[in-house]
Structure 1
Amino acid sequence: MYDLVEPIGLVPYLADGADEPLMSLGLRNQWDAYFAGRAAPFGRSVPAEVVHAVFYNFAPGEVARHLPRVWDLTTPEAALAARERGCVAALRRILGELADAPGVAHAGDLLLRAATSAPVEGRPLFAALRALPVPQGAVARLWHAATLLREHRGDGHTVALVAEGVGGTEAHVLHALSVDMPAKEFGRVGHLPAAQLTAVVDGMRARGLVGADDWLTAAGRATKERVEALTDRLAEAPYHALDPSELDLLVTDLEPISAAIRPAFPW
């Protein structure tokens, strides 16, 4: 289900033009659009420190460069509406005629039932998004359901990282090294000052996660595997709302949608 739903959930971040309506609100750059769109369910009054804690994997100070400044430029309500418009338009552009196929509406209904069935306890971003009104259009409902499931999984991923004692910046290093990429070349941390990134890697080395060769040790790889396994287990709950035949039908409906979206993204 992750492989089928994740491409839809990535539309706000990877689809061409998805953030244009957000940018038209007067935002300064794409990271303004990212934080305005994703943090909008929390409303205006939640401070940057809280958003940083929930988003988890940004380096110290990154969130505060955008929040609450973006709320001087627009409102959470306007940001939510613009994000939906941009994502629905982008998704329709990618899917073409498939956007109006019965499978899109049916997949959206099933995904929405799954997403809204999950408990919100311990899932702050999922809970905030879950409290918003559900869009009416078929493509919008599909995108909204996928976003709910993505944030539900993301909250669970944070739980898994915390349980293993892996910090936010460390999570990026752990992922980069697990795919045999030097930490300094990974986009989400490669921009950090060299001394800051070195200190993160040194801290992981002191705990036995990174070796003297700057690659993951066996313990480091085992940690990554446990994080991913727990993330998967914690992401199962929404799908318990669907019986096996509904899950089979959902897979059938999602396969052509996912297949159409994947080539449009720079993976």
Structure 2
Amino acid sequence: MPTSAPLARRMSELFEPICLVNFFCEEPNEAMAAIGLTNYWDGYFAGRSAPLGRVPADVVHALFYSFAEGEAARHLPRVWDRVTPEQAMAARERGCVAALRRILGDLADSAGLARAADLLTRAAVSPPSEGRPIFAALRAQPIPDEPVARLWHAADVLREHRGDGHVAACMAEGVGGTESHVLSALDMGIHPAESFGRIHHLPRTRLAAVMDGLRARDLIDASGHFTEAGRAAKARIEATTDRLAAAPYDGLTSDELDELIAVLEPVAAVLVASGPS
């Protein structure tokens, strides 16, 4: 059945909290440390790029899109001297599943969660992979049998599917990786945008050049806030991202979509209420 961009946005709101345990909980960090990756960013680049195999840092930089030049190269391929991609993927999953089980409690073993895992997996494996390299690499991995692990995996696959589409939307607007963070920061009400956590560590000269480039294109004003053109460009990026993210849900019936949303809502609510933990 045809699906709409609003549905894709709603589904993102529901599966994103499942994915965020990877970044805000200690269990994934502990799982990575257990295999020798004690530096957070070593674990991040190893875990997320592992489905791609031992590709050069330049490839990961191109696909991840939003990291500054040289950031991937500080971790890749060095991490593969200590662990294999398979070990990194397994540790990432173990840590995320442990975090989900801790936060969800009895809900982790509920029939609703198992049903959500089944339906979300069907959605995740259904769309075509053309033009979506990270999604394709992750979708090619084995699907876990255990329901919490299967839910985590499906959410991660869908997140990368949406992410590949978001990169395409940014590129269509001529917005670079660091620029995309500036626009996202402003969209979230963060000002100055240079204070945003994803970019505040970059050299001041680098950030100044990015801001100057956005001003030259009339996307931000002299004070570093959105111009009308900048806000419109950000809106187009998000609308295109939603439109490109809709395909996975075409594989489910209307009743199944309603059921999926109903069973995911309490899971997402508990995860959101837990906050960074």
Does residue 241 (structure 1) correspond to residue 251 (structure 2)? The answer is yes
Of the three residues 5, 16, 21, the one matched with 1:11 is 21
How far, CA to CA, are the matches of 1:254 and 1:170 in structure 2?
Answer: 33
Aligned counterpart, 2:187: 178
> CA shift at 1:219, angstroms?
0.2
Does residue 109 of structure 1 match 2:107?
Answer: no
CA distance in 2, matches of 1:178, 1:90: 29
Within the candidate set 139, 157, 175, 1:166 is matched to 175
Which residue of structure 1 lines up, in the alignment, with residue 232 of structure 2?
222
Matches within 5 A, 1:19-30: 19-30=29-40
With normalisation by structure 1, the TM-score equals 0.97
Letter in 1 for 2:147: A
Distance in 2, matches of 1:239 and 1:170, equals 30
Q: Would you say 1:53 and 2:62 are equivalent positions?
A: yes
Q: Return 5+ residue gaps in structure 1 as ranges.
A: none
Which whole-Å CA distance do the structure 1 matches of 2:186 and 2:106 have between them?
41
Q: How does 1:70-219 map to 2 (within 5 A)?
A: 70-181=79-190, 182-219=192-229
Query: Identity of aligned pairs, percent?
Result: 62
1:42-72: CA deviation from partner (whole Å, max 9, x where unpaired)? 112x100000000000011000000001101
- What is aligned with 2:270? 260
Q: Distance in 1 between matches of 2:196 and 2:155?
A: 26
Supply the distance in 2 between the matched residues of 1:238 and 1:199 (Cα, whole angstroms): 38
The 1-side partners of 2:172 and 2:89 are apart by: 32
> Aligned partners of 2:125 and 2:133: how far apart in 1?
14
Q: Does the aligned pair in 1 maintain the 2:51–2:85 contact within 8 Å?
A: yes
Distance 1:205 1:146 in 2: 36
Task: Report deviation, 1:265.
Answer: 2.4
Which letter does structure 1 place at the counterpart of 2:64?
F
Question: RMSD of the TM alignment (CA)?
Answer: 1.1
Which stretch shows the higher mean deviation, 256-265 or 193-202?
A: 256-265
CA shift digits 1:78-104 (9 cap, x unpaired): 111111111111111110001000011
Which amino acid counterpart does residue 226 of structure 1 have in structure 2? R
- Distance in 2, matches of 1:7 and 1:28, equals 24
Higher relative contact order, chain-length normalized (CA < 8 Å, sep 6+): 2
d(CA) in 2 for partners of 1:89, 1:74: 21
Task: Provide the C-alpha distance between the structure 1 equivalents of 2:20 and 2:205, rounded to a whole number of angstroms.
Answer: 32
TM-score normalised over the length of structure 2:
0.94
2:106 maps to amino acid: E
Paired residue type of 1:80: M
Segments ≥4 residues shifted beyond 6 Å: none
* Correspondent of 2:72 among 63, 74, 81: 63
Gaps of 5+ in 2: 1-10
**Distance (whole Å) between structure 2 residues aligned to residue 98 and residue 38 of structure 1:** 27
Look up the SS of the partner of 1:26 in the other structure.
coil
